[in-house]
Structure 1
């Protein structure tokens, strides 16, 4: 579904990502964890086309996307829930969700069908349809942000810190939605500071440190790896013996 090969990318004169290799199979949930500054969110920006990689390639279902603008990456089925609040507070919940269907706006029948399906899957979309998005709680906003991304029936859903700022009850609701979407076949790549939550939701895990991938494997393998604690806390991985 998604392959990053030897990707280098950054801002200004510096590189945040330094030769990143990453692979996500269709139907999986991959969670990237690591200390602050490891490059986790930068990986998502490169995949979505918001940041061009300086070297390396990004492929989505066999199509190179590293030289495509964000709107073309979006058209290929890659949607993203950003870390910061991304709703328009003065617009209604319904209006915010429908904005996610911008690329299919001329197909009114499909737009209505997608919206109706999302209303059934995510109750807050139906219950608060006419309310301004600014009146929602943090957990409710996160649900609506995910709902908006689903309007394009994405092949790959990117989530940047979906647990950020949520109370335990809201967190449980978002986690349940992520699990439900994956069970329905949605491929997801998420970045999480909450390691226990992220790897608990994931089928596969990736640990980054210093702009590089240090560990990969199933979620259980990554969680139980003896180097996990030192890597996540910002230590250096031991150098393999020659």
Structure 2
């Protein structure tokens, strides 16, 4: 469904991604793990159009999307939940969620239908509709951030560190929401520092190091690989090419 082949990308003339190959099949949850600076978040940015690749191909259902503007990528059915601070704190929960429907704002009937769907999937959207987003807890904010992305009924959701800063109870709620979305048919690609959580949610795992993919496989295979700990400690995978 989502494919990257030989993707090179970076910032200020320096390449963070150095020939990344990645495949996400439909209705799967793929988790990217790896040490800081491996290029995990950059993968999400280059897929969503926030960063343009200098080499390689990115496609969605066989259709090229690499280098397209973020709005065009959204229209293809790919949405992204940033790492943190993604809500407008002085706006209400209701207003923040409606912002996710900007591309369909002219179709009032569809906008209402999507909002009803989002309220059903993420109850806090209705329960705290008139509260300022700045008054929500970390877990509640993350729920609303995901809810906002659902306004476009995406085929693929990109999640950057969904567990960041969350307490165990909030973590369980966000994890449950991700699992529910996937069970409803949404394909998920997430970056996660919490390896146990990320690979526990995932069907497939990807290990990155130094801007390259070093290991791919089922989530269980990646989780049980003998070199996974050394990668997080800054070592080098014995299986690296």
Q: TM-score range by the shorter chain?
A: over 0.9
Taking the aligned partners of 2:206 and 2:240, their CA distance within structure 1 comes to 19
- Secondary structure of the 2:106 match is coil
Q: 8 Å contact 1:207–1:232 — kept in the other structure?
A: no
What are the Cα deviations for residues 126-151 of structure 1, in whole angstroms up to 9, with x where unaligned?
10001111110000000000000000
Taking the aligned partners of 1:158 and 1:5, their CA distance within structure 2 comes to 18
What are the Cα deviations for residues 139-174 of structure 1, in whole angstroms up to 9, with x where unaligned?
000000000000000011000000000011000000
Q: 8 Å contact 2:87–2:96 — kept in the other structure?
A: yes
Change over 3 Å in CA distance of 1:105–1:223 after alignment to 2: same
Per the alignment, residue 29 of structure 1 pairs with 29
Tell me the C-alpha RMSD between the 2 structures.
Answer: 1.1
Per the alignment, residue 214 of structure 2 pairs with 214
Question: How far does residue 238 in structure 1 lie from its aligned partner after superposition?
Answer: 1.9
Question: How far does residue 67 in structure 1 lie from its aligned partner after superposition?
Answer: 2.4
**Number of aligned residues:** 241
Change over 3 Å in CA distance of 1:239–1:175 after alignment to 2: closer
Taking the aligned partners of 1:18 and 1:76, their CA distance within structure 2 comes to 25
Taking the aligned partners of 2:156 and 2:116, their CA distance within structure 1 comes to 21
Question: Structure 2-normalised TM-score?
Answer: 0.98
Q: Does 1:231 align with 2:231?
A: yes
Taking the aligned partners of 2:77 and 2:9, their CA distance within structure 1 comes to 22
- Secondary structure of the 2:198 match is helix
Question: How far does residue 184 in structure 1 lie from its aligned partner after superposition?
Answer: 0.5
Give structure 1 regions of 4+ aligned residues with deviation exceeding 6 angstroms: none
Q: 8 Å contact 2:93–2:144 — kept in the other structure?
A: yes
Question: How far does residue 239 in structure 1 lie from its aligned partner after superposition?
Answer: 5.9
Per the alignment, residue 104 of structure 1 pairs with 104
Taking the aligned partners of 2:197 and 2:91, their CA distance within structure 1 comes to 31
Question: How far does residue 240 in structure 1 lie from its aligned partner after superposition?
Answer: 7.1
Alignment of 1:43-122 (within 5 A): 43-122=43-122
Per the alignment, residue 163 of structure 2 pairs with 163
Q: 8 Å contact 2:33–2:191 — kept in the other structure?
A: yes
What are the Cα deviations for residues 37-90 of structure 1, in whole angstroms up to 9, with x where unaligned?
000000000000000001001001111011211110111011000002100011
Q: Which moved more, 1:229-238 or 1:15-24?
A: 229-238
Per the alignment, residue 149 of structure 1 pairs with 149
Structure 2: stretches of 5+ with no match in the other structure: none
Taking the aligned partners of 2:232 and 2:98, their CA distance within structure 1 comes to 38
Taking the aligned partners of 2:13 and 2:119, their CA distance within structure 1 comes to 45
Structure 1: stretches of 5+ with no match in the other structure: none
Q: 8 Å contact 2:30–2:204 — kept in the other structure?
A: yes
